[in-house]
Structure 1
Amino acid sequence: MRSFSTLARGSAASLKRLPFLSTGARAFSCSPQLLQQIETLAQAKAAQTKELKSKYGSYVLGEVTVEQCIGGMRGIKGMICETSDLDVEEGIRFRGYTIKELQAKLPTAPGGTEPLPEGLIWLLMTGNLPSEAETKIITEELRKRQEVPAHVMKVLESLPPDTHPMTQLVTAVTALQTESVFAKAYAEGVKKSEYWKLCLEDAFGVVSLSVSLSLYSLAESEKDDLVESSPID
Structure 2
Amino acid sequence: MNELDLHLCHDLILSKDQMAIAPEGVEIITAIDSLIARVLGINVERISNDLTYQSIREWDSLSHVTLMIALETELGIKITDQIMLQLHSVGAIREFAQTHMIRADEGAKSAPTITVHRGLEGVYIERSTITNIDGERGVLEHRGYNIHDLVEQSSFEETVWLLLNGELPDAPTLAAFQEELRLHRELPAAIVDLVRMLAHAHPMEVLRTGISALGALACDDQDESQAAAMRSGLSLIAQIPTLIATHHAIRSGREPIAPHATLSHAKNFLYMLFGEEPSPSAVRFVDKDLIAHAEHGLNASAFVARVAIGCKANLYQERQRAVPMKKFHHHE
Instruction: Mark yes or no: TM-score above 0.5.
Output: yes
1:121 and 2:168 equivalent?
no
CA contact under 8 A between 1:181 and 1:201: conserved in structure 2? no
Query: Measured at CA, do residues 197 and 222 of structure 1 come closer, stay the same or move farther in structure 2, by a change above 3 Å?
Result: same
1:103 and 2:151 equivalent?
yes
Q: Which amino acid aligns with 1:81?
A: S
How far apart in 2 are the matches of 1:74 and 1:226?
44
How many residues get paired?
162
1:131 is displaced (CA, Å) by: 2.5
How far apart in 2 are the matches of 1:141 and 1:122?
12
How far apart in 2 are the matches of 1:54 and 1:173?
37
Query: Measured at CA, do residues 65 and 132 of structure 1 come closer, stay the same or move farther in structure 2, by a change above 3 Å?
Result: farther
SS, match of residue 148 in structure 1? coil
Worse-matched range after superposition: 199-208 or 90-99: 90-99
How far apart in 2 are the matches of 1:167 and 1:54?
42
Structure 2 counterpart of 1:80: 127
How far apart in 2 are the matches of 1:169 and 1:126?
26
How far apart in 1 are the matches of 2:238 and 2:202?
21
| Aligned residue among 93, 96, 99 for 2:141 | 93
How far apart in 2 are the matches of 1:56 and 1:81?
24
Structure 2 counterpart of 1:203: 233
CA contact under 8 A between 1:94 and 1:124: conserved in structure 2? yes
1:139 and 2:186 equivalent?
no
Write out per-residue CA displacement over residues 99-148 of structure 1, whole angstroms, 9 at most, x where no aligned residue. Answer: 11323553xxxxxxxxx111011111111122233222221111111121
How far apart in 1 are the matches of 2:257 and 2:215?
29
Structure 1 counterpart of 2:209: 171
CA contact under 8 A between 1:95 and 1:123: conserved in structure 2? yes
CA contact under 8 A between 2:246 and 2:256: conserved in structure 1? no
TM-score, length-scaled by structure 1: 0.57
How far apart in 1 are the matches of 2:233 and 2:160?
11
Unaligned segments of structure 2, at least 5 residues: 1-51, 56-85, 97-113, 264-332
1:216 is displaced (CA, Å) by: 0.8
SS, match of residue 182 in structure 1? coil
How far apart in 2 are the matches of 1:91 and 1:74?
22
Query: Measured at CA, do residues 57 and 230 of structure 1 come closer, stay the same or move farther in structure 2, by a change above 3 Å?
Result: farther
How far apart in 2 are the matches of 1:87 and 1:74?
17
How far apart in 1 are the matches of 2:232 and 2:121?
32
SS, match of residue 133 in structure 2? strand
Q: Which amino acid aligns with 1:80?
A: R
1:197 is displaced (CA, Å) by: 0.4
How far apart in 1 are the matches of 2:181 and 2:254?
25
CA contact under 8 A between 1:168 and 1:217: conserved in structure 2? yes
Write out per-residue CA displacement over residues 142-182 of structure 1, whole angstroms, 9 at most, x where no aligned residue. Answer: 111112111111211122x3211121111111111233343
1:92 is displaced (CA, Å) by: 2.0
How far apart in 1 are the matches of 2:123 and 2:166?
25
CA contact under 8 A between 2:246 and 2:257: conserved in structure 1? no
Identity fraction in percent? 22
Write out per-residue CA displacement over residues 2-59 of structure 1, whole angstroms, 9 at most, x where no aligned residue. Answer: xxxxxxxxxxxxxxxxxxxxxxxxxxxxxxxxxxxxxxxxxxxxx9955x93499659
Q: Which amino acid aligns with 2:131?
A: S
> What are the residue-to-residue correspondences of 1:5-24 with 2, within 5 Å?
none
Unaligned segments of structure 1, at least 5 residues: 1-46, 107-115
SS, match of residue 86 in structure 1? strand
Structure 2 counterpart of 1:217: 247
Structure 1 counterpart of 2:270: none
Structure 2 counterpart of 1:29: none
TM-score, length-scaled by structure 2: 0.42
How far apart in 1 are the matches of 2:189 and 2:215?
13
How far apart in 2 are the matches of 1:122 and 1:143?
14
Query: Measured at CA, do residues 56 and 140 of structure 1 come closer, stay the same or move farther in structure 2, by a change above 3 Å?
Result: farther
